[in-house]
Amino acid sequence: SESNVQFRATLSGHSSYVRRLDWSADSSKLQSCCGAYELLYWRLWKDDDNGERRWRPHQEKTASTMRDEIWASYSCLFGWPVRGIWPEDS
């Protein structure tokens, strides 16, 4: 069968291999966690000055902006929904 999978972008930022990846419910954002236990957020689209959405994948460096995001899946070990369940210094 034919595949519609295409390479679209490389997201760089983790200091180790990517262990988990989750899509937002609207498919406009990603969250990923790596072997070094980093959790990174990614925005895939950006609104330009004309109000049009442009494909511009980039890391979201302010994690609190993703606090209320609804995720289609949740496989990352860390994040807002699981905040507080890990013991201090674990």
- Rounded to the nearest 10°, the torsion over CA 39, 63, 46, 70 is 80
The predicted pLDDT at position 85 comes to: 75
> What is the spatial distance between Cα 48 and Cα 37, in angstroms, rounded to a whole number?
33
The predicted pLDDT at position 58 comes to: 94
The predicted pLDDT at position 1 comes to: 57
> Does the predicted model carry a pTM greater than 0.85?
no
List the beta strands (DSSP E) in the chain: 18-23, 29-34, 39-47, 53-60
Strands 18-23 and 53-60: unpaired
How high is the mean pLDDT in each 10-residue block of the chain (90 residues)? 80 95 95 94 91 92 93 90 74
